[in-house]
Amino acid sequence: MATDIRAELKNCGQSAQKVRLVIDLVRGKPAVQALTTLKFLPRAAAPTIYKLVASAVANAEENFGVSRDDLVVYQIMADEAPTRKWRRFGARGRFRPILRRASHITVVLRERA
């Protein structure tokens, strides 16, 4: 039976749309290869996702006794978190809305079968 090792990050300060561009590159890869890819990726979301995947790998090694070489990124997703909204003055006395989007990121690792 395959054990799922999870790690979650709530209220990440980047939009889910931009985070998904990075997580699509590592989905389905071995965990070690995913960490190497994330380390050298020139995107703002890459260091955050690197930390999250590294945390999931550490959870697997410490809590389940699974070697990092046997782990695969089984599932990784970015969902929208609550959006912070406020206004800024625009032309002719109008308000312009500013939306600060955030995301919830979840990583699920599985042992290679």
**Taking the model in full, what pTM does it have?**
0.89
Which residues partner with 22 through β-bridges?
Answer: none
pLDDT averages per 10-residue partition of the chain, 113 residues? 86 96 95 96 96 96 93 96 91 90 96 84
Q: Which domain holds residue 65?
A: 4-111
**Which CATH number goes with the domain that contains 11?**
3.90.470.10
pLDDT confidence of residue 75: 95
State the pairing for strand pair 103-111/4-12. Answer: antiparallel
Collect contacts of 33-40 with beta carbons under 8 A, ≥24 apart: 34/73
User: Based on the structure, what is the number of domains in the chain?
Assistant: 1
The reported pLDDT for the residue numbered 39 is 96
The pLDDT score that the predictor gives to residue 19 is 97
Classified as helix, coil or strand, 81 is coil
